[in-house]
Amino acid sequence: MAKPTFYITTPIYYPNDKLHIGHSYTTVAADAMARYKRLRGYDVMYLTGTDEHGQKIQLRAAEAGKPVMQFLDEIIEWIKDLWDKLDISYDDFIRTTEPRHTKVVEEIFERLIDQGDIYLSDYEGWYCTPCESFWAERELVEGKCPDCGREVQYVSEESYFFRMSKYVDRLLQFYEEHPDFIQPESRKNEMINNFIKPGLKDLCVSRTSFDWGIPVRRDPKHVVYVWLDALTNYITAIGYGSDDPKMRAKFEKYWPADVHFVGKEIVRFHVIYWPIILMALGLPLPKKVYGHGFLLMKDGKMSKSKGNVIDPKLLIDRYGSDAIRYFLLREIPFGQDGVFTPEALVERLNFDLANDFGNLVHRTAAMLHRFVGGRVPLPGARTDAEEELAELAGQTLRDLEQHMDEMQFSVALADIWRLIRAANKYIDDMAPWALHKRGDEERLRTVMYTVAETIRLVSVWVQPFIPRAGLQVLEQYGIAPEFRTWESTRTFGAPIGQSPVEQRPPLFPRLDVDEELEALAGLTRGRDGAPASRATDAEAAGHGAKQEGQRVESTATPTGVQTKETIGIDVFDQVELRVGQIRAADRVPNADKLLRLEVDLGAETRQIVSGIAKHFQPEELIGKKVVVVVNLKPVKLRGVASNGMILAASTEEQLQLVTVPDFMPNGAVVK
Ligand code: MSP
């Protein structure tokens, strides 16, 4: 039976400059999805590429003193090298200067003129060259471009226009019939209210003021203007309009796309103009457009002029591609904006990768060698502890699949890490070293097998995100090919006994925090040349204290704060705190202390019952951003399910919720 297909795309990037870590974000996310679908047995087509026409490219090439094509070739080589370094498993890379694209765009343009969808008229307005955007007089800010603040020029020129207005009703009907088309959901209303309701303007689709573009066949003083040229890459790359029957069959096989991944700033083009162009061509529409959020720096958007751009190659050279992929996917809930901070990067690498996953793999291999001859042993009878871990593994797989289907990468990774932490705790609780000492061979074999089996599952599951580490561990643990498949992870208890296990250096080195912060400050430079993004002394001190947590003894004395027993950072780290926003609140019937809250955690909205009814009216809580413990076992309070807990500061007399400034995104990690 033919495999089901899955066609996924990234935006095609402007090669007017080297790409930065923000562009890598989309590409890494799409790659994780592509790899996941391949593991799930899909025939995947993963497309990326470059959007090579337009005045900006022409100007940049002139500035560099190079012929345009040479300028482009050099940047494309740099971009492909970046994707290789980041282990991007794209199946095709389309350049809009390739004949397979230009020829078809020319034909499409002719056809749309013949159909009356494209007409000739005059364009008048203000034009910003760097942004390649037209603005109406009223849209300008103090006479300048509202996006970048630079000078605009008044242009009046003959242009072709696409009659968008003709298709608006059909588009709205399509949205109605396909409620999942625009993701996340919130972006849909923004589109309808901001762009469609005020009256959709026809789109200018040709220019005569520059010539670096695809000429209009019947009127070659015009070149096709960016979006019609750019968007059609998604169909030309897979063979639409090709003369080659094999390519046409490819188009039939993969179109419509399953998902276009795009940054939120270009959702509009993908959910309004693109569907309308496809309607005019009589083609089916893509199944989904996912508009993800932006990776920001502490001082806002990444931009050359702010000098806060990070070169992804420098990061990969220093930390490896898995580390960067992990950070991007784990740190920022897909769909929301997130801030890149060097501190967060180093923490994620130290805690999640080195401490949790790396250490699990490393210490287990060492124990397998020390206690049972360097092979995964055959297990004896399971006890409750093994059953519990096996059950958690099953639950993890179910959660992981659900979150991947929802494209919630950060949550999917949190699912896997829950099992990794549980496996580390299982080792601590079972203490194989003690079993070895007292000669309890059967228990020792069972425990070591159980840990190895958990490592097998985790290593298969992490492959979409950190493919190198996943594969390396499967090899290190001698896992046979049939137990590396996704399907094989549905069973906890595969016959991997007797597999030889190698001892290898740790997967991820533990980093020295201060040294890395210093180095990272050097990679991102501020406008004045001073290192940017360095934590303030106070922040760094706070951090240091946390890092050192395991080594520092409690200094509490009877006159200071009375504490419970001192815990290590690893224990604290098991508590997962996140920013949540209260969306709804009401009283729990027959319970005078309890309120039922609906709390938006970005990736999901949870019901939490909280004992704060004596201190607040439900309505005053709406909109508050609070800190939520998200990994507490769900309970029922007075028959109402509660899934999490909200933090509050209290004295005998009063209680205040711990709140977070409004600009922090829902779902942001608190630590
Ligand atoms: N060429 C157009 C897209 C045409 S698609 C038919 C374009 N190119 S771009 O080079 O400007 O890249 C835009 C895309 O890069 C964004 O949509 C987003 O996917 C990604 N990102 C650029 N900066 C980003 C961040 N700071 N954070 C996250 N993604 C970012 O627009």
CATH number at residue 379: 1.10.730.10
Flag whether pLDDT at 620 surpasses 90.
no
What mean pLDDT is reported for the chain? 89
Q: pLDDT confidence of 588, banded at 50, 70, 90?
A: confident
Which of the residue ranges 16-25, 274-283, 380-389, 527-536 would you say has the lowest mean pLDDT? Answer: 527-536
- Going from the Cα of 554 to the center of ligand 1, the distance in angstroms, rounded, reads 49
Q: pLDDT confidence of 671, banded at 50, 70, 90?
A: confident
Rounded average pLDDT over 277-298: 96
Rounded average pLDDT over 351-356: 96
Strand boundaries in 539-647, DSSP class E: 577-587, 595-600, 605-610, 625-629, 635-637, 640-642, 645-646
Query: Can you give the pLDDT at residue 568?
Result: 64
The CATH number of residue 604's host domain is: 2.40.50.140
Residue 356 resides in a domain: yes
Flag whether pLDDT at 563 surpasses 80.
no
Q: pLDDT confidence of 536, banded at 50, 70, 90?
A: very low
Query: Can you give the pLDDT at residue 107?
Result: 98
Residue 435 resides in a domain: yes
On whether the CB atoms of residues 207 and 225 are closer than 8 A, the answer is yes
Residue 293 resides in a domain: no
36: enclosing H helix or E strand: helix 21-39
Comparing 517 with 40, the larger pLDDT belongs to 40
The two tokens of residue 201 are 């303007």
Whether 262 is in the pocket of ligand 1, judged by its Cβ within 6 Å, is yes
> What number does the ligand 1 atom closest to the CA of 14 have?
10
Does 473 lie in the same domain as 350?
yes
Q: What is the pLDDT of residues 248-287, one digit of tens each?
A: 999 999 999 999 999 999 999 999 999 999 999 999 999 9
Comparing 526 with 637, the larger pLDDT belongs to 637
Q: pLDDT confidence of 484, banded at 50, 70, 90?
A: very high
For ligand 1, atom 30: residue with the closest CA: 22
Flag whether pLDDT at 529 surpasses 50.
no
Residue 248 resides in a domain: no
Comparing 378 with 575, the larger pLDDT belongs to 378
What count of Cα atoms within 13 Å lies in the side-chain half-sphere of residue 301? Answer: 9
Q: pLDDT confidence of 450, banded at 50, 70, 90?
A: very high
Share of the chain above pLDDT 90, in %: 69
Does 541 lie in the same domain as 478?
no
Q: pLDDT confidence of 402, banded at 50, 70, 90?
A: very high
Contacts of 471-475 with CB under 8 Å at 24 or more apart are 472/504, 472/507, 473/361, 473/507, 475/502
Specify burial of residue 416 (Cβ count, 10 A radius: 0-12, 13-18, 19+). buried
- Going from the Cα of 262 to the center of ligand 1, the distance in angstroms, rounded, reads 7
194 vs 82: CA distance, rounded Å: 36
> What number does the ligand 1 atom closest to the CA of 15 have?
10
Ligand 1, pocket-test mutation among 266, 278, 308, most atoms within 8 A of CB:
266
Whether 230 is in the pocket of ligand 1, judged by its Cβ within 6 Å, is yes
Rounded average pLDDT over 492-516: 93
Ligand 1, pocket-test mutation among 8, 9, 12, 13, most atoms within 8 A of CB:
13
Does 562 lie in the same domain as 478?
no
Query: Can you give the pLDDT at residue 542?
Result: 27
Looking at 490, 509, 525, the residue that finishes a domain is 490
Whether 302 is in the pocket of ligand 1, judged by its Cβ within 6 Å, is yes
> What number does the ligand 1 atom closest to the CA of 13 have?
10
For ligand 1, atom 19: residue with the closest CA: 263
Does 589 lie in the same domain as 661?
yes
Domain with 451, as residue range(s), is 340-490
Count of other CB atoms within 10 angstroms of residue 497:
14
Ligand 1, pocket-test mutation among 21, 24, 26, most atoms within 8 A of CB:
26
Cis amide linkage into residue 130, ω under 30° from 0: no
Flag whether pLDDT at 546 surpasses 90.
no
Flag whether pLDDT at 346 surpasses 60.
yes
- Going from the Cα of 199 to the center of ligand 1, the distance in angstroms, rounded, reads 26
Share of the chain above pLDDT 70, in %: 92
Query: Can you give the pLDDT at residue 155?
Result: 83
On whether the CB atoms of residues 474 and 460 are closer than 8 A, the answer is yes
Does 594 lie in the same domain as 477?
no
Flag whether pLDDT at 226 surpasses 90.
no
Whether 26 is in the pocket of ligand 1, judged by its Cβ within 6 Å, is yes
Rounded average pLDDT over 17-24: 92
Does 484 lie in the same domain as 542?
no
Q: What size, in residues, is the chain?
A: 671
465 vs 463: CA distance, rounded Å: 5
Residue 573 resides in a domain: yes
Rounded average pLDDT over 145-171: 92
Which of the residue ranges 132-146, 271-285, 371-385, 508-522 would you say has the lowest mean pLDDT? Answer: 132-146
Flag whether pLDDT at 290 surpasses 90.
yes
Model pTM above 0.85: no
Count of other CB atoms within 10 angstroms of residue 74:
14
Residue 246 resides in a domain: no
The two tokens of residue 53 are 């026409």
Q: Rg (Cα) of the chain, in Å, rounded?
A: 28
For ligand 1, atom 21: residue with the closest CA: 23
Domain count, the chain: 2
> What number does the ligand 1 atom closest to the CA of 302 have?
26
Does 627 lie in the same domain as 568?
yes
Dmax over CA atoms of the chain, in Å, equals: 89
Which of the residue ranges 84-98, 316-330, 544-558, 603-617 would you say has the lowest mean pLDDT? Answer: 544-558
Q: pLDDT confidence of 333, banded at 50, 70, 90?
A: very high
Does 542 lie in the same domain as 621?
yes
For ligand 1, atom 20: residue with the closest CA: 23
Query: Can you give the pLDDT at residue 230?
Result: 98
Characterize the bridge pairing of strands 206-207 and 223-224. antiparallel
For ligand 1, atom 5: residue with the closest CA: 11
Flag whether pLDDT at 174 surpasses 80.
yes
Count of other CB atoms within 10 angstroms of residue 488:
17
Say whether 6 sits in a helix, a strand or coil: strand
Query: Can you give the pLDDT at residue 537?
Result: 29
- Going from the Cα of 11 to the center of ligand 1, the distance in angstroms, rounded, reads 6
Query: Can you give the pLDDT at residue 282?
Result: 98
Rounded average pLDDT over 101-109: 98
Does 562 lie in the same domain as 474?
no
For ligand 1, atom 26: residue with the closest CA: 22
Residue 546 resides in a domain: yes
Does 547 lie in the same domain as 474?
no
Does 621 lie in the same domain as 544?
yes
Residue 630 resides in a domain: yes
Whether 408 is in the pocket of ligand 1, judged by its Cβ within 6 Å, is no
- Going from the Cα of 321 to the center of ligand 1, the distance in angstroms, rounded, reads 20
Flag whether pLDDT at 525 surpasses 80.
no
Whether 51 is in the pocket of ligand 1, judged by its Cβ within 6 Å, is yes
> What number does the ligand 1 atom closest to the CA of 11 have?
5
DSSP string, 54-120: SHHHHHHHHHTTS-HHHHHHHHHHHHHHHHHHTT---SEEEETTSHHHHHHHHHHHHHHHHHTSEEE
Looking at 451, 471, 490, the residue that finishes a domain is 490
Does 448 lie in the same domain as 346?
yes
Flag whether pLDDT at 559 surpasses 50.
no
